[in-house]
Amino acid sequence: MRKFTLIMALAGSLLLGAFSSFAQDLSTNQVKYQITFDQATQSYTVWVIPMYNTPNANNPSTDEMGSTAQVTLKIPKDFVMKNLTSIHGSWRKPLTILGNPATHPKFANYTYDKNFYYCSVGKEPGESSYGKFTANTPVALFSFQTTGCTGPVEILDKSDPFIAAAYKAYSLNVECSFYSRSGQSSGGNGLPTEQFLQMLGPGAQCQEAPKKIDLVLTTSLDNKLPEVGDNVKITVVVKNNGPDNATGVQVKDALPSGLEIAGSSSTQGSYANGIWTIGSLAVGESVVLTLTTKVVATGIQYYVAEVSKADQEDINSTPDNGIPDEDDYGQTCAGAPILLCAGQAVELSIASTYTNVQWFKDGTSISGANSTTLKVTSTGTYTFTATNAGCSTGACCPIIVVEGNCCPAEICVPVTIKRVRTAAKR
């Protein structure tokens, strides 16, 4: 039978806590301790697992009534406990971390696992309810968090050599313990019997919460109504709204055939072959890509850019999924006027997947113009609305039809020029 001292001063000033602990015989009503980690809340929970039910011969109550108890944890060396929360019983944060010979030199004289430190969480000795005990059903005692995630946190097993080392070095009892009504034979006046049997299961392995980012991409251009031959400057801005820093960020863009690239520059990373490799973006940081393009065709030219890669999970968008409504997707357009000669017609065409289409001429809806194509025989400004169009207002870029410099009407053969508008990439 091992005899341990109640409360011992450590190095003159440190107290380990007010647990009452004589080493006693083991009660027939035993418990185990277990520790688990929940990634969603980044919290550890320590549980007691009874090997018996309440009520029982020692305890006629439905509930188990606990007195003192101690849970000693075997911890990573940089372990810092925070937010200790009692769940059943009132538990005290460890007063000190043990096992470091640099701060407690006598530990150097003893053999134990020096890759870890140790700390004890003690329950206030007053009797309190744990609720009903059912054999093999865990009851949560307390939870806590740590300032980092550097390794497993274990319950100190009964066989751990640190128990003997702490006692020999500083007369400290660090052994896990548990005392309750069910552990003590009723009517007797003998010493309380210990109920802690052993730890259950492996230690709790923490996992960092996954990093989260919010990349937002916007596009704009400086001239929505250029002539063929004009330069159009396209600007793409990517910002990380956090909450974590982003790495491995890449943007993919698509230049329409009616715009020719004439030059590019960016505040970070490099741009080549439609890929802007950005790299890291701190929280709140923005980067800018500027493309200089030359208009080489009439009609609407759609430019589309989207975040195509990032190492972290974006909270509200997915890279490279092509959904225009997401905030990592940007589209903008420019349109050189379409030339129309007298006696000719132009067929305007939008993506065949658009529904509930309505065409407008000079801001007025055209009766019956609800198809994804529109035959135009007069000059004007044409727009459309559609339920599922990327530019749902239809105001993204008007299609402007102007009178062309044509051959005399009398010698021209009437012909329909089919111009298929380059719709936004879906």
Minimum separation from the CB atom of position 267 to Ca ion (A): 20
Contact range with Ca ion by CB under 5 A, out of 4-12, 101-109, 113-121, 324-332:
324-332
Q: Could you tell me the CA-to-CA distances from 185 to 19, 49, 182, 193, 301 in Å, in that order?
A: 21, 20, 7, 9, 88
Instruction: List CB contacts of 60: < 8 A, sequence separation 6 or more.
Output: none
Instruction: List CB contacts of 379: < 8 A, sequence separation 6 or more.
Output: 340, 401, 402, 403
Q: Name which position in 314, 360, 384, 422 contacts Ca ion (CB under 5 A).
A: 314
State the amino acid at position 193 in one-letter form.
T
Distance of CA 391 to the CA centre of its chain: 31
Phi, psi of 170 (to 5 degrees): -135, 15
Contact range with Ca ion by CB under 5 A, out of 32-40, 117-125, 292-300, 325-333:
325-333
Minimum separation from the CB atom of position 241 to Ca ion (A): 7
Residue 313 interacts with Ca ion (CB under 5 A): yes or no = no
Number of residues that bind Ca ion (CB under 5 A): 10
> Scanning the structure block, which residue is given the tokens 């944060």?
93
Q: Are 257 and 297 in contact (CB under 8 A)?
A: yes
Contact range with Ca ion by CB under 5 A, out of 201-209, 215-223, 263-271, 278-286:
215-223
Q: Name which position in 150, 198, 207, 316 contacts Ca ion (CB under 5 A).
A: 316
User: 88 or 425, CB closer to Ca ion?
Assistant: 425
Minimum separation from the CB atom of position 166 to Ca ion (A): 52
User: 319 or 335, CB closer to Ca ion?
Assistant: 319
Is the preceding peptide bond at 55 cis, omega within 30 degrees of 0? yes
| Element containing residue 9 per DSSP (H, E) | strand 9-10
Q: Which two tokens stand for residue 262?
A: 């004439």
Q: What is d(CA 223, CA 189) in angstroms, rounded to the nearest whole number? A: 94
Q: Name which position in 164, 327, 373, 385 contacts Ca ion (CB under 5 A).
A: 327
Minimum separation from the CB atom of position 330 to Ca ion (A): 10
Burial class from Cβ neighbours inside 10 Å (0-12, 13-18, 19+) for residue 399 reads buried
Residue 194 interacts with Ca ion (CB under 5 A): yes or no = no
Burial class from Cβ neighbours inside 10 Å (0-12, 13-18, 19+) for residue 89 reads buried
Phi, psi of 356 (to 5 degrees): 55, 50
User: 67 or 241, CB closer to Ca ion?
Assistant: 241
Q: Name which position in 147, 321, 377, 378 contacts Ca ion (CB under 5 A).
A: 321
Minimum separation from the CB atom of position 211 to Ca ion (A): 14
Q: Name which position in 214, 291, 305, 424 contacts Ca ion (CB under 5 A).
A: 214
Distance of CA 75 to the CA centre of its chain: 26
Residue 154 interacts with Ca ion (CB under 5 A): yes or no = no
User: 207 or 321, CB closer to Ca ion?
Assistant: 321
Q: Name which position in 326, 331, 332, 421 contacts Ca ion (CB under 5 A).
A: 326
Q: What is d(CA 299, CA 349) in angstroms, rounded to the nearest whole number? A: 10
Residue 253 interacts with Ca ion (CB under 5 A): yes or no = no
Q: How far apart are the first and last CA of the chain?
A: 77
Residue 317 interacts with Ca ion (CB under 5 A): yes or no = yes
In the window 111-140, what residues touch Ca ion (CB under 5 A)? none
Q: Which two tokens stand for residue 1?
A: 């039978």
Minimum separation from the CB atom of position 319 to Ca ion (A): 6
**Three-state secondary structure call for residue 348:** strand
Minimum separation from the CB atom of position 270 to Ca ion (A): 22
User: 154 or 326, CB closer to Ca ion?
Assistant: 326
Minimum separation from the CB atom of position 327 to Ca ion (A): 5
Q: Name which position in 44, 217, 328, 346 contacts Ca ion (CB under 5 A).
A: 328
Contact range with Ca ion by CB under 5 A, out of 122-130, 156-164, 207-215, 380-388:
207-215
Burial class from Cβ neighbours inside 10 Å (0-12, 13-18, 19+) for residue 320 reads middle
Q: Residues in the site for Ca ion, rule: CB under 5 A?
A: 214-215, 314, 316-318, 321, 326-328
